[in-house]
Amino acid sequence: METKDLGDAQAAASPASTSGSVPPGPPTADAGQKPQGAEATTSPVAEASPPRSKARGRRQVKEHKNSSQASTSAKTAPPDPLTKKAAVLIHFLLEKFKMKEPIRRIDMLKLFHKRYKTRFPEILRRAAECMELAFGLELKEVKPNGYSYTLVSKIGLVSDEVLSSSCELPKNGLLMPLLSVIYLNGNRASEADVWEFLNVLGIYDGKQHVIFGDPRKLITEEWVQQNYLVYRQIPDSDPLSYEFLWGSRAYTETSKMKVLEFLAKINSTIPSAFPFHYAEALREEEKRSRGRSLVRSRAVARATACSKFPPRDPSSAQ
């Protein structure tokens, strides 16, 4: 619900900032139903009452209707001011990222009234968290207490092609959640499962997205060509169907443990809360560690051999 509120606030404060990153919530059903329900429950009573009580009954219906509308208004109250301020800050950060301009604390403070100065750390925290989850970008201080920041890839999946562009927003922020879906589905996910997940995020097949463009082209062509994903036909499937797997570049630039850390952060828990996948991720980390150790030992052995037997000088042989 916090993510939804932040998405609604972003849409209200700046539609261009994060449109599409969080699906808009459906209209509250009881907004139009409660008052009608109040009238329906009291109408039989009014009809069965003597003529003298009809006026009183109508007043009770009116009072009940007003109280229902007040209750509905309370339920659909807008997000708190800090969430709205975070949406404004997100728009500012995206503009700075696109223009490759420095991000300074003093410039961010100018966006808000001075009464929000003491609350700025919380506003910055909310904005930074949304930048990380929606775009895969981490807001980091250039140097401690330097009041200057930069946006860097949190998971190593923001390609150089995107970072070098001054007109595109980072599309690869969607890649980590998609890799998570594939991993949690047994390291492969059917195309139907993938689209079901994307629909939850407000991303639909055949519909242009304000940030991700043509989603089908993105996941079946662009990321496949970049070797982040494998898109292949499921053998012996009838009717014909396809599935997604991790590509070689995904295995190189991220890991199953990083995926679990990402999922744990979203769910406000720890990676071991996913015991089966955590055990698998630990095995992969151990395997990677052994591989790195082997590479280092071979490099040290080669360096040692070269130092013991330096190349001969042709002139000395003569």
Lowest-pLDDT range, 57-61, 78-82, 244-248, 283-287? 57-61
Other residues' Cβ atoms within 10 Å of the Cβ of residue 9: 26
Supply the pLDDT for residue 193: 94
| Residues contacting 291, CB < 8 A, separation 6+ | none
Could you report the per-residue pLDDT of 290-310, keeping only the tens digit for each? 777 777 777 777 777 776 666
Nearest to 190 by CA among 239, 233, 219, 254: 233
HEC-encoded secondary structure of 22-82: CCCCCCCCHHHHHHHHHHHHHHHHHHHCCHHHHHHHHHHHHHHHHHHHHHHHHHCCCCCHH
Q: E strand or H helix at 100, and its extent?
A: none
Other residues' Cβ atoms within 10 Å of the Cβ of residue 247: 19
User: pTM of the predicted model, to two decimals?
Assistant: 0.54
Supply the pLDDT for residue 15: 41
Q: How confident is the model at residue 315 (pLDDT cuts 50, 70, 90)?
A: low
Supply the pLDDT for residue 316: 54
For the sheet with 229-233, list strands across it.
189-190, 242-246, 229-233
Q: How confident is the model at residue 87 (pLDDT cuts 50, 70, 90)?
A: confident
Q: What is the DSSP letter of 23?
A: P
Please give the structure tokens belonging to residue 286.
């151990």
For 24, how many CA atoms within 13 A lie in the half-sphere containing its CB? 11
